[in-house]
Amino acid sequence: MCSTGGMVHADPSHDPVQTQRDWNRTYQALAHAPASRCTALRRRLIGLSRRLALDVPRTERADLRRRVREPS
């Protein structure tokens, strides 16, 4: 993820549902990853968490997680 000055800026063209799916997959990968991959996965998880925190209002985060868990 590219950023300027260490800050992540909201991208209005990104899909929060896809970001949440990516977060879920990364979290699962981290749970089962060998130690050699943990740092990269943690960094990705932090980046995705920042994006969700910036782009999804707190009051809508539970609904987003619920929608991602439901079958499409």
pLDDT at 11 over 60: no
Contact between 19 and 52 under an 8 Å Cβ cutoff? The reply is: yes
User: Secondary structure of the chain in the HEC alphabet?
Assistant: CCCECCECCCCCCCCHHHHHHHHHHHHHHHHHCCHHHHHHHHHHHHHHHHHHHHHCCHHHHHHHHHHHHCCC
Residue 38 tokens read as 């943990």
pLDDT at 7 over 70: no
Instruction: Tell me the mean pLDDT in the region 40-62.
Output: 96
